[in-house]
Structure 1
Amino acid sequence: MSTSPYIVDITVENFQQIILEGSMQQPVLVDFWADWCAPCKALMPILTKLAEEYQGKFILAKVNIEEQQELAAQFQVRSVPTVMLVSQGQLVDQFNGAKPESEIRAFLEPHLTNPVEQLKEQIRELIGAEQLDQAQMLLQQAISQLPEDYELQIQLARVLLQKSQASEAKAVLDNLPETEKGRPDVQGLQAGLKFAEKAPSAEELAALGERDDSEARYLKALAALVQADYDRAVTLLMAIIRDDRGYDEGVAHKTLLEVFALLGEGNPLVIQTRRKLFTLMY
C-alpha cells in the first residue's frame, strides 16, 4: 500500500470517492494491473514517479484486477496493463501496454491544469458572471491557503470595491508589501478608492435629478463607478471631454485614465474607449 497522498489503491469501497468524486477536482489516472504481469511491473515505477513529480495535478489510482474483479469487469478491462484517465467523472483517454516515460508525459499533459490557475480561472468566471459574493468567499479561502499569492489579494480588493465595500478593500491594499503597491493594477484600485470617497451620497445623487451640466455628469459618473457601472461612467466622462474638456482642470480626462488603470488595459471597454478618446482628442 502506498503512503503517497497522490497514489491510492482502489477497492469497491473507495472507488466512488477516489475515482468518480475525486476526478471532479483533478484528473485520476487509473492503472489496472496484476502481480503476474511483467509489463505492469515495468510501467508502475514510471507512473509512481510521475505522480510524485506532478504533486497532485493528477491522482494515480491502482486497481489490482485479481483482487478487484468487479471493478475490472465494470471498466471492461480485457488485458493489463490498461491505463485510463478519468476527469469530471468521465473517461477521457486511455492506453494499453507498457509505454516509455516520454509517451506517458505526452499522454498526460493535455489533460493537466495547474490547480492554482484553475482556481483563479474559476474566480474570474464568477466575477464575470457578477457572482461577487461567491467570488469573495472563494478568494478568501484561496488566500488562507496561498497567503503570498498577491494576485489573489489584489483580486479580492477589486471584488470588495465592486461590492461598494471601500474600507474593506483599502484594508486589503494597505496590507500588501510595498513592492506590490506600485503595480499599475494596484494603482488603479487605489483610484477606485478615491472614486468611493468623492462619490455623492444617495441623497445628493437624487438631488441632481435630470441635471446634465458637467458637474452633474461628473458626480453621476463617480456614483456609477462606485456601483461598478463602468459603461455608464465612461459614457458620462466621455461626454464631459467632448463638450467641456477643460471642466475642473480636465478632471474628466484624468478620471477616465484612472478608470483604465482600474479595469486593466486588456478590458474590452478600455480598448474600445481608448479608440474613441483618441478620435475625440486628436
Structure 2
Amino acid sequence: MIDVTLQNFEAEVITASRSVPVLVDFWATWCGPCKVIGPLLEKLETQYGGRFKLVKIDSDQEQQLAAAFGIRSIPTCILLMDGQPVDGFMGALPEGKIKEFLDKHLPPAPEAEEEFLEEEAPGDAGSQLEKLQHAVATDPANDDARFEYVKNLLLAGRTDDAKVAFAPVIGKVPAVRRFDSLQRWMDALDFAQGADGPAAMADLDAKIAANRRDFDARHGKARLLMAQQQWTKAMDELLEILMRDKSWNEELARKTFIAILDIIEPPKPKVAEGQIPPDDPTVATYRRRLSSVVLS
C-alpha cells in the first residue's frame, strides 16, 4: 500500500496502471468505514500476489485528486487499467464482494502457482538447517549456502548461532550484497533488543505523527518491524521515506529496502531447461514499487 499525493500520482497511479491494475482507495482519517475496509484491501493485495497494486489517497489532504475523480462519499475505490478508470465501488464492502469485484477485472492467477507452492513447501525446519549446515561445512566458500544457512538461523530465532555462522564471511559484507543484507537484519535485531518493546514502537509512531518527515523515526520503526519479521510493513515505512527524500542519509532507506527484498526472496526452484522460474509475488510487487518511487 502506498500513500499517493498530487506529486506522485502520475508515477504511482497512471504510469503504474499501464503494467498492473491499480486500485485507488479514497479515504480520510475521520472515516470509520475507511478503517474497516483499509485492512481488508491490504490483505487482499497480499493474497492476490501482485495481480493488482493498492494505493491510498487521503481525500481531505488531496482535494484536487478527489474532485478529479468525482468523489462524493468515502470510502470509494476506483480501479485503473492502462491509465484509465474502468470501474469502482463505494462503501465498506465485505471481503467476498471485494473479491468478486477484483476477479471481474483482474487477469487470472497463474495456473502453475499452486503446484509450485506445493513443490516448494518446506519440510522440517531442523532438517533443512542440518542440510544447509552440512553444505557450508563441506564447502565453506559456497556463499549461496552460507547465506541461506544464516538466513534460516535468523528466521528460527537463533541469532547467536547465526552470528557465529556469519563471522567467517563478515569481511565480504562490502563486496557481497546479500551478506550486507544479512548484516542489516542482524543490526536491526540488535537495535530491537536494545529498545523498550511496544513502548519504543509507540514512541516512534508518535514522532512520525508529529512530523511525517522524521526519517530517523521512520527508519527506526522499519528496523523494529524487520526484527519482528513484518517485512511488508517495514518496506511500506521505507517507501514513505523514499517518496519524500530518495537520497536521505546516503540512500539508507533504499539500501534497507533492498536488504529486505534479499531476505524474503525464496531460493529459485529448479525448472526445465529454457524455462524461467516464477518470481515470488510479494518480492515482485515491492520491487516494482521501489522502481516506481526511485525512478519518479
Give the TM-score normalised by structure 1.
0.44
Larger RCO: 1 or 2 (CA < 8 Å, sep 6+): 2
Give the TM-score normalised by structure 2.
0.42
